[in-house]
Amino acid sequence: MTPLIQISGLTKTLTGQGEPRPILSGVDLTVHSGDSVAILGRSGSGKSTLLSLIGLFDRPDGGQYLLGGKDITRVPERRAARLRSEEFGFVFQRFFLLKHLTAAQNVAMALVNGQGWAARRNRRAKVMAALEQVGIAHLAKQRPPRMSGGEQQRVAIARALVRQPKILLADEPTGALDTETGALVIDVLHSATDRGCGLILVTHDHAHANRMRRVVRLTDGVLRPEPRGVLI
């Protein structure tokens, strides 16, 4: 079976104020449908950078990136935008909800993105299904400032799921939540893999990492398998 994602020898050098710094120096990663991968790594090791390459926010300097068997290493921005819309769902440490919109409108944002068009009723059904899936359908009309952190993050996850993506990318989604709420959020994310969605989770929390099918660690710009059960 063709893997969802097949990355080999991916490199990326970032140029900040100082001299160019190689962040990724040959990352290999394969993710299948229904697979879940946790990425661990020290702060500044390049986890977010790697995720931004996988999610087509940015392009790698070298290596190869196959999505469903198709080479998208140098995909132009227009097509990248379409792929982001159709293939990927994103969850970030900060929830990035628009505070002037309701939960439902925030979720609908992923549908109102200039990539195709769903009629209002159709849109509404999809939004409610996604909110249902993360267990906060009753908050549909609520605005983010009046929701708890965990609720807000679940709205963000509903936004990521509403287009039924093939891959979920989550960058420290529990970083701003307490342990219990964090575990709930991981539950919600994990349940998406039951429907064949691939999940890549960046986290500092070993407990959360251990719930994924595979755990890898980013060190010195490459991914290495993490021995299971090092920490509980």
Ligand X SMILES: Nc1ncnc2c1ncn2[C@@H]1O[C@H](COP(=O)(O)OP(=O)(O)OP(=O)(O)O)[C@@H](O)[C@H]1O
Contact footprint for ligand X (CB under 6 A):
14-16, 23, 41, 43-49
Reference 70, options 166, 162, 153; nearest CA is 166
- Decide: 26 and 9 in contact? Cβ < 8 Å: yes
Q: Does 187 bind other proteins (CB under 8 A)?
A: no
Q: Mark 81-118 as b/e (b = at least 16 C-beta within 10 Å).
A: ebbbbebbbbbbbebebeeeebbbbbbbbbbeeeeeee
Q: Which is nearer to ligand X, 39 or 136 (CB)?
A: 39
Write each residue from 58 to 87 as x if it is in contact with Mg ion (CB under 5 A), else as -, in one continuous string: ------------------------------
Q: Which amino acid is at 119?
A: A
Binding residue for other proteins (CB under 8 A) from 2, 21, 70, 112? 112
Residues 43-72 that bind other proteins (CB under 8 A): 48-49, 51-52, 55, 57-58
Residues in the chain, total: 232
Residues 27-56 that bind Mg ion (CB under 5 A): 48
Q: How far apart are CA 176 and CA 95, in angstroms?
A: 9
CB of 229 to other proteins, least distance (A): 29
CB of 157 to other proteins, least distance (A): 13
Kind and range of the H or E run holding 210: helix 206-210
Q: Does 113 bind other proteins (CB under 8 A)?
A: yes
Q: Does 142 bind other proteins (CB under 8 A)?
A: no
Reference 3, options 39, 29, 24, 27; nearest CA is 29
What does the binding site for Mg ion look like in residue numbers (CB under 5 A)?
A: 48
What does the binding site for other proteins look like in residue numbers (CB under 8 A)?
A: 48-49, 51-52, 55, 57-58, 77-78, 81-86, 90, 92, 94, 96, 98, 100-101, 105, 109-110, 112-117, 159, 171
